[in-house]
Amino acid sequence: MNYHWNWGIFLEQVKSGDETYLDWLLTGFGWTVAVSLSAWVIALSLGILLGVLRTMPSRALAAAATAWVELFRNIPLLVQMFLWFFVVPELLPREWGLWVKQDLPAKEFLTATICLGLFTSSRVAEQVRAGIQALPHGQVMAGLAMGLSLPQTYRYVLLPMALRMVVPPLTSELMNVFKNSSVAFAIGVLELTFQAKQMQEDSEQGIETFFAVTVLYFICAFTANRVMAVIERRTRIPGTIAGQQ
């Protein structure tokens, strides 16, 4: 293997400006975290709503939520990025489309966030639905029999149990969000993968570059995992196997 190692590369200046390569990577890290966390907020709120809708007695609501989930699950994320970036502005009324294309601030960031958020919402919805359906049917009936309305039953009886049960699968979804945010490089978000490619071309130190970026992704995944572990411990349901300590 004929490779010229240079681990000091990160402190060197980039060829095209007065920043260092480390600045590039830290910027990338910031965008990765920003895209992932904002997308997670969208995914969680929409996903819980959709998951609830899928378990509703109303056939129409459940079917609409199912269609949503199927739509977002069966198209590759990268293709969805292109759909939001290139196609959606064309579908808007002329002035809006022009505005989105020319004047929308942080256009790439917003597009990537919405796209990743909606994509992940369909996965969160599946977990939430599974959580609700894992509850004994008696829970709904008991809620309704006590005179609670259906929304109240969801709010006070079903969701407090179901959401706590699905914390472990949601942990992997949160880690997936960080990993999937890497796809945003394709529409020009200046996140880690984008910076990795840019630094590799600029510095020609591919291995050092990718190593550093991989470490930064590890940090994201590990932090997400630890934070969720704390939440999991705090929200354990008493009386279950998980809650017995």
Partner 1 sequence: MMQGDFDFSVLVDSLPFLWTGLQFTLKLTMVAMLGGIAFGTLLALARLSPIAPLAKVASWYVNSMRSIPLVMVILWFFLVIPLITGTPLGAENSALVTFTLFEAAFYCEIMRAGILSVSRGQVAAGYAVGFTYSQNMRLVVLPQAFRNMLPVLLTQTIVLFQDTSLVYAIGAKDLLKAAEVAGKNYNRPVEMVVFVAIIYFVICSSLSFTVKRLQQRMAIKR
* Interacting residues with partner 1 (CB under 8 A): 1-3, 70-71, 73-80, 82-83, 86-87, 90-94, 97, 175, 178-183, 185-186, 193, 196-197, 200, 206-207, 210, 213-214, 217-218, 221
- Rounded to a whole number of angstroms, the minimum distance from the CB of residue 112 to partner 1 is 13
User: Residue 25 or residue 159: which is nearer to partner 1 going by CB?
Assistant: 25
CA 83, CA 45: separation in Å to the nearest integer? 22
- Rounded to a whole number of angstroms, the minimum distance from the CB of residue 4 to partner 1 is 11
Instruction: List residues bridging with 13 in a β-sheet.
Output: 20
User: Residue 45 or residue 214: which is nearer to partner 1 going by CB?
Assistant: 214
CB of 44 within 8 A of CB of 97?
A: no
- Rounded to a whole number of angstroms, the minimum distance from the CB of residue 30 to partner 1 is 17
Q: Which two tokens stand for residue 135?
A: 């509850």
Cα–Cα distances in Å, from 131 out to 14, 172, 237? Answer: 50, 15, 13
- Rounded to a whole number of angstroms, the minimum distance from the CB of residue 156 to partner 1 is 33
User: Residue 153 or residue 209: which is nearer to partner 1 going by CB?
Assistant: 209
Q: Taking the CA of residue 205 as centre, how many other CA atoms within 13 Å lie in the half-sphere pointing to its CB?
A: 19
- Rounded to a whole number of angstroms, the minimum distance from the CB of residue 81 to partner 1 is 10
Long-range CB pairs of 84-93, under 8 A, 24+ apart, other chains included: 84/111, 84/114, 84/115, 85/111, 85/115, 85/187
User: Residue 109 or residue 185: which is nearer to partner 1 going by CB?
Assistant: 185
User: Residue 17 or residue 76: which is nearer to partner 1 going by CB?
Assistant: 76
